[in-house]
Amino acid sequence: MSPFPEECFDTSPSDGGGFYPALIHQKLDNEKYEIIRKLGYGRRSSTWLVVDASRGDLLAVKTFTVGASERAKNIELRISKAVARVDDAQRVLRGFWQESKAGTHLCFVMPALGTSVERLANEAEYHRLPIHTVQRIIYVITRVLKTLHASGIMHGAIKADNIYFPANFDASESKPTTVTVKKHTTVISQPLSSRIKWNSKPKIVADWSIYVGNFGHAQKGAYEVERKNDYSSAPETLLKDASCSPQTDIWMLGFLAYTLLIGNSPFASYGPSYRRIATMSASVGDDIPKTWFSDAKMKQYNPDANDGSNVVSIEAGLATVLRKKDAKEAAAFIKGCLRLDPQNRFTAKECKEHEWLAHAGDCSCC
Ligand SMILES: [Zn+2]
């Protein structure tokens, strides 16, 4: 495990590392922006809250590692231009290059975002959000996916920590602090909050602004499974001959809807692929595509082993928490997203127009 409590400064650029070593009050892009806070970091970038020196606006600057900057330029920046056409998506306002002692970093200027759906769910009891809240979140994602998929773009990371609410800049903030590990000093992350409550009534939730962020795993055209990316157990990504596509986003969407409603994911994220896929097949009530049986990772699959015999169905899982009618309606949507064969899943358009989302707020949870 990395000794670094924040971004790992020990990874070399050839291994995707080489983080931008920034401190508070540091200037970026020829003094155009001043760093005032660190918002967070990922494997390939760190994100800073900055003030635009000439206009006084608060913005986010995402600084890519030296090792990830070239990919970000060739893929992410290109995709962000297509994404800019989607109202609700997180858009890159501009890009610039920044030098540091680690090398050259690509930087994106973006609107600063607030709390994530992940953090909102963590505030709720048992990490379960009310049905009308989940419906609103899922609906906004389907709108974004419909536009992305129409342009041949797969998002690749439809997860609760990549969906955001608008930032609340008024919150009283504690002063940023730093930590030093080995010879590296870095600022401690302080994500922005949002002015929303997890238990808001349907009338308020219906007006929530929600943004789909993090296009770091997005792909266009020839889709290739990223070895280290977890696609919420999407079965096509677990095969030896693994694949992914925009339909993988739909699986992740169904997985997310279930997880937000129940507070637990529908499938375990460990074990051999053949057993995981057998469990999914039993839980969703959907046959394993015949062509998958010749895959090297399905060799040990035995249809008589009853790998799915004590599996809880999607609908029964939902019914442990929701009223029967609510569980049935949610299951109709979720099972359409979790079909094993990607081609049999709902399209983004079908998701957006699904009656479970059309009747948002008809739930008995409020
Ligand atoms: Zn409700």
Q: What residues have CB less than 8 Å from 214, skipping those under 6 apart?
A: 42, 90, 157, 162
Judged by DSSP in three states, 47 sits in strand
Provide the residue ranges of all domains of the chain, joining segments of one domain with +.
13-110, 113-167+195-358
Q: For residues 206 and 1, which has the higher predicted lDDT (pLDDT)?
A: 206
Distance of CA 132 from the midpoint of ligand 1 (Å): 4
Q: Which residue has the tokens 């006084």?
A: 56
Question: Which of the four pLDDT bands, split at 50, 70 and 90, describes residue 290?
Answer: very high
Q: For residues 163 and 363, which has the higher predicted lDDT (pLDDT)?
A: 163
Distance of CA 125 from the midpoint of ligand 1 (Å): 15
Distance of CA 359 from the midpoint of ligand 1 (Å): 11
Distance of CA 365 from the midpoint of ligand 1 (Å): 4
List the one residue out of 178, 206, 47, 180 whose CA is nearest residue 114: 47
Distance of CA 267 from the midpoint of ligand 1 (Å): 25
Distance of CA 360 from the midpoint of ligand 1 (Å): 8
Buried-exposed string 311-347: b where 16+ CB fall within 10 A, e elsewhere? bebbbebbbebbeeebbebbbebbbbbbbbbbeebbb
Distance of CA 344 from the midpoint of ligand 1 (Å): 30
- Residue 94 phi/psi, 5-degree rounding, is -165, 165
Sign of the four-CA dihedral 173, 179, 185, 190: negative
Distance of CA 205 from the midpoint of ligand 1 (Å): 10
pTM score over 0.75: yes
Distance of CA 262 from the midpoint of ligand 1 (Å): 14
Alpha carbons 286 and 306: distance in angstroms, whole number? 15
DSSP assignment letter at 167 = -
Q: Which residue has the tokens 């990607």?
A: 342
**pLDDT on residue 196:** 93
Q: Residue 63: which region, alpha, beta or left (left: phi > 0; alpha: psi -120 to 50)?
A: beta
Task: State which residues have CB under 5 angstroms from ligand 1, the bound ion.
Answer: 130-132, 363, 365-366
pLDDT at 216 over 90: no
Q: Any idea which architecture 113-167+195-358 has in CATH?
A: Orthogonal Bundle (1.10)
Q: Any idea which architecture 13-110 has in CATH?
A: 2-Layer Sandwich (3.30)
Distance of CA 89 from the midpoint of ligand 1 (Å): 26
Alpha carbons 183 and 42: distance in angstroms, whole number? 20
Q: For residues 261 and 87, which has the higher predicted lDDT (pLDDT)?
A: 261
Distance of CA 134 from the midpoint of ligand 1 (Å): 9
Fold agreement (13-110, 113-167+195-358): no
Question: Which of the four pLDDT bands, split at 50, 70 and 90, describes residue 282?
Answer: very high
Q: What residues have CB less than 8 Å from 141, skipping those under 6 apart?
A: 158, 163, 210, 212, 253, 256
Alpha carbons 4 and 186: distance in angstroms, whole number? 10
Sign of the four-CA dihedral 162, 165, 170, 172: negative
Alpha carbons 115 and 105: distance in angstroms, whole number? 26
Contact 35, 49 (CB under 8 A): yes
pLDDT at 1 over 70: no
Distance of CA 55 from the midpoint of ligand 1 (Å): 42
Mean pLDDT of the chain: 91
Question: Which of the four pLDDT bands, split at 50, 70 and 90, describes residue 5?
Answer: confident
**pLDDT on residue 203:** 92
Distance of CA 103 from the midpoint of ligand 1 (Å): 51
CA distances from 114 to 166, 217, 337 (A): 5, 21, 28
pLDDT at 287 over 90: yes
In tens, the pLDDT along 331-363 reads 999 999 999 999 999 999 999 999 999 988 778
Distance of CA 315 from the midpoint of ligand 1 (Å): 18
Distance of CA 361 from the midpoint of ligand 1 (Å): 5
Question: Which whole number is the average pLDDT over 182-210?
Answer: 92
Distance of CA 107 from the midpoint of ligand 1 (Å): 41
Least confident stretch, 64-73, 79-88, 245-254: 79-88
Question: Which of the four pLDDT bands, split at 50, 70 and 90, describes residue 306?
Answer: low
Question: Which of the four pLDDT bands, split at 50, 70 and 90, describes residue 188?
Answer: very high
**pLDDT on residue 266:** 95
Alpha carbons 63 and 151: distance in angstroms, whole number? 26
In tens, the pLDDT along 12-63 reads 999 889 999 999 999 999 999 999 999 999 888 999 999 999 999 999 999 9
In tens, the pLDDT along 116-150 reads 999 999 999 999 999 999 999 999 999 999 989 99
